Amino acid sequence: MAKVIVVLADGFEEIEAVSVIDILRRAEVEVVVAGLRDSLIKGAQGLMIKPDCALESLDGDDFEMIVLPGGTQGARNILNDAVCDRLLRKFAEEDKYIAAICAAPFVLAEKGLLKGCMATSYPGFKDIVEKDAEYQEAIVVVDENIITSRGPATAAEFAFTLVELLVEEDTAEKLREGMLFSYVDDED
């Protein structure tokens, strides 16, 4: 079973974190919600989430992916966290998956992890991301081990893409159908 770390910092974008956690768990991926501290983390819209553990308690060895939800303040908090920096660099060195949505791709750009990659982000962070990356205006961009997405409205598709990479495309499609993200056009 695949294992994923979802990093939460104060100011995280709730829909991006919760959608990823929910959809990955529906796909039977083991998700560990790791906070920058081991106490309640407050999202951008005020939702409080108790992480499973503090990020500093994880070494990353048993995980295939690390996910950074967006939210401007959450991304800035992640950018300035030494433990997250260490894990991101470890995942990059080991060619493990690094996924970021909305504002969070700017964290990867600031750390030099998007050099030569195709990537996307929330439009307000385009200037930062495109300094090192080939910016794409796609919903989700996968470039080898780097996965980026645009923002709150793309959170579910971002999560389904993560399922495709970690489990299989068939599982992602069954989830899309079961959750009514895929539907038949009644006019055909």
Phi, psi values for residue 15, rounded to 5°: -60, -35
Please report, as a single letter, which amino acid is at residue 155: A
Q: How far apart are CA 121 and CA 129, in angstroms?
A: 7
- C-beta neighbour count of 57 within 10 angstroms: 11
Classify residue 154 by its DSSP letter.
Answer: G
Q: Per the residue annotation, which of 53, 84, 102, 117 is the catalytic one?
A: 102
Give residue for tokens 């979802």. Answer: 6
Pick from 149, 172, 177: nearest CA to 27:
172
117 noted as active-site residue? no
Three-class SS state of 65:
strand
Residues labelled catalytic = 102
